Structure 1
Amino acid sequence: MDDFFVSALRTEHLTFGDEATMVAAGKAVCSGLSNGKSSDEVEEGMRQASGLDPEDASKVVKWSLTVYCTSEMPHYYGLG
């Protein structure tokens, strides 16, 4: 499941992670969707792949991740 596009949108003047982190999070989302996981499970997988602690996320930066998986419609996931 390597064929996907990930775009990160900053909602504050702080940078979340780097491109490699975003790609890891995107892969977690696409993998979760292709395996039929629930939205909560997909979001948890994305959070783990990003290395963000859920409590730290809301304190450090608000961000959104839009993932386009090859066989899926765009999905929006946000932390913070």
Structure 2
Amino acid sequence: MAQNTFAPLEGTKVEISGIAGPFRACASCGHTLATVSTEPVGTHAGHLTCSACGHMTAYLSRDHMAAMLAQKKGAA
């Protein structure tokens, strides 16, 4: 089994500040805090779920995940 390069991101909480596009507040409850899941969905590398209600809010591409990982490593 291949190692998940993005595993360090699992469970990371991210604030969603956009009001349009794929990274917006939860359509179900309006909450703006989401949790990263590194579990692939179809061709997507991961996804965001609402931290309040658990609703899936956005898919994450490999590029999104790589950028998030670089930012996390830079902050460490």
TM-score for both structures, normalised by structure 1: 0.32
TM-score for both structures, normalised by structure 2: 0.33
Q: Which has the higher contact order (CA 8 A, sep 6+)?
A: 1
